[in-house]
Structure 1
Amino acid sequence: MGLDVYVGSLTRYYAGDWENVADKAARERGEPAGRRPFSDGPRDAVGIRPRILEWRRALASSLGDRISDPLEWDESEMAPYFTARPGWDGFGSLVLWAAYAEHPSLRAPPALPEAWDDDPALLRCNAEGFRSRFSHLVRNVELWLPNTFRFTFEGDDVDGRRIVVGSVRMLLAQLADLNAATWGVDDDALAQWSRQAPAPGASLEVRARYACAVMTALVRQAVDRDLPMKLDY
């Protein structure tokens, strides 16, 4: 199962009015995309948008004064969108790279383990009471909102599924912190990394570098355009 990252309005996402990397490649080859539907409800933006807005109002009410800025962003079907495919191997490697940066006394595996979500460094990052410096990356977040808040929280997504939610602005700051703490490369190097998809059998670090570059570019779009970002799988 692939992993894409989407930046854009949730109306557009749930209406299916966007292409992931595989969709685009299939279209350019003249083949049907065959992507799964996102929701059991209506797939037209006109029908979906009121659901999104009601979900956002309910979420804002539940958060109350825990957030200082209103939960507001462009939810029109005309909002721009951006997407890329770090893949689970890339995203998982990036998560573990952050976990081991936070726990340098532990030795990172040379490649991403199959059961990487049970990795000891990652479990330490998620231990009760531990304040992770990379919390918006290592805490199993699936949706990042275009607001600034330091905490992550569990809540229902638009379809009622329980997910962990974070902040795009905090994620951008934490990715920059991870880069500074481990690689220390500039934007030109990140751009170069994003154009070099890892070869089969690539190391944990190579996959993490690629995913960091891809994620950084997407998060910057989310921050600049004031849009949410979510995982798609």
Structure 2
Amino acid sequence: MGLDIYAGTLTRYYSHNWKNKVQQIAEANGQKCVMTDGLGNEIKPVEDKAEIMEVRDIICQWTEKLAAGLEQIGEPMPHPLWDEINERDYFTDKPDWEAFGALVMLQACHLQGCPLPEYVENGWSAFDEPIVKKSMSQKTDISLLSEVAHWLPIEDKAMFTINLPTGVEARVSTLPLLKQELEELNRRIWRADEHTILSWRDDKYYFPVKQKESKPLFGFLLRKKQGVKYRTEELAQCAFSMLYQAVNFAIEHKVPLLLDY
């Protein structure tokens, strides 16, 4: 399955009232794009307003329970933790696993003091790499190396395990901690200004090393050729740019950020 970044209300997310980059590009080109779940069933947005309000109520009850739990172990929390109006704007982008994995690998190599592999192949998974497995097993305070897929708009820089609104137990973190991680990684490796970081969000980083003349429509969205290589740092920079924009959007709008896959 592919990987998308989403920053917006959980009401909009769980009611499927958002479109990822694949859908946006398809619609811009006059094409229909049908998204399916793991069983092959079409995922349709919830249109009934009463049903959307029901989803919102569930999310609001969940956030209240979360705030109460956090208050028991720390400082007082705002009520509500954030606004769950369904119609609020959202941000999305699509690093896919290769680019996001390259960023995770970069973080792991930096943590272990090891050089970053120059290339990765199509279909490669960072989570199969020994250096990443070692870093994740050390239980660091780095959310990108802690199986976190949700970052919440809470002021504390923290990670904790909770049950999501779906009832699934998950490791979550906060937006300030993710922003700190990205800033620290940039300071130690690139020292890039914002203009440069934004320029990394460019499909050229998805071109195979020896196939620069071919032009994919959007990164990995087209059929991928097996065995081709990509520059690891360039993929990591592209994913960094996407996540950088997403976390800034989420902080500004006080909404959660999550990985959708």
Q: CA deviation at 1:97?
A: 0.3
The alignment's C-alpha RMSD in Å is 2.3
Helix, strand or coil for the counterpart of 1:35? coil
Alpha-carbon distance in 1 for matches of 2:70, 2:130: 31
Deviation per CA, 1:56-76: give whole Å up to 9, x if none.
122223333445333611201
Q: Which residue, 180, 191, 204 being the options, matches 2:232?
A: 204
Matched residue, 1:108: 116
Partner of 2:184: 177
Q: Which of 53, 63, 68 matches 2:70?
A: 63
| TM-score (ref. length: structure 2) | 0.79
Map 1:118-157 onto structure 2 (within 5 A). 118-128=128-138, 130-132=139-141, 135-157=142-164
- Which deviates further from its counterpart, 211-220 or 114-123? 114-123
Where does residue 35 of structure 2 map in the other structure? 35
Change (3 A) 1:19 1:78: same
- Counterpart mapping for 1:66-77 below 5 A: 66-68=73-75, 69-70=77-78, 72-77=81-86
Q: 1:231 to 1:131 in 2, by over 3 A?
A: closer
Q: Is the 8 A contact 2:4 2:20 kept in 1?
A: yes
The alpha carbon displacement at 1:177 in A equals 0.5
**In the alignment, is residue 17 of structure 1 matched against residue 27 of structure 2?**
no
Change (3 A) 1:171 1:19: same
Q: Residue 26 in 1 paired to residue 21 in 2? A: no
Q: Does the alignment pair 1:158 with 2:186?
A: no
4+ residue stretches of structure 1 with deviation over 6 A? Answer: none
Q: One-letter code of the match for 2:239?
A: A
Contact preservation (8 Å) 1:7, 1:227: yes
Identity %: 28
Match of 1:46 in 2: 53
SS in 2 for 1:194: coil
Q: How far 1:165 moved relative to its partner? A: 0.5
Cα deviation, residue 194, structure 1: 1.0
Kindly provide the CA deviation profile for residues 94-148 of structure 1, in whole angstroms up to 9, marking residues without a partner as x. Answer: 01101111111x34333347342143332333334x544xx12211111100113
What's the CA shift for 1:224? 1.0
* Residue 96 (str. 1) matches residue 105 (str. 2): yes
Closer/same/farther in 2, CA of residues 174 and 214 from structure 1, 3 Å limit: same
**AA paired with 1:100?**
C
The TM-score, its normalising length taken from structure 1, stands at 0.88
Alpha carbons 1:147, 1:168 under 8 Å: kept: yes
- Structure 1: give runs of 5+ residues left out of the alignment: none
User: 2:71 is paired with a residue of what secondary structure?
Assistant: helix
Choose 1 or 2 for highest CA Rg. 2
Preserved CA contact (<8 Å) 1:172 1:216: yes
Q: Give the superposition deviation at 1:39.
A: 10
- Aligned match of 2:226: none
CA distance in 2, matches of 1:155, 1:213: 28
Distance 1:137 1:65 in 2: 26
Alpha-carbon distance change, 115 to 77 in structure 1, aligned in 2, over 3 angstroms: closer
Count of equivalent residues: 228
Q: Report the Cα offset of residue 31 of structure 1.
A: 2.7
Alpha-carbon distance, 1:87 to partner: 1.1
**Residues 18-72 of structure 1, C-alpha deviations (whole Å, 9 max, x = no match):** 11001111222333321233899x8942221111112212222333344533361
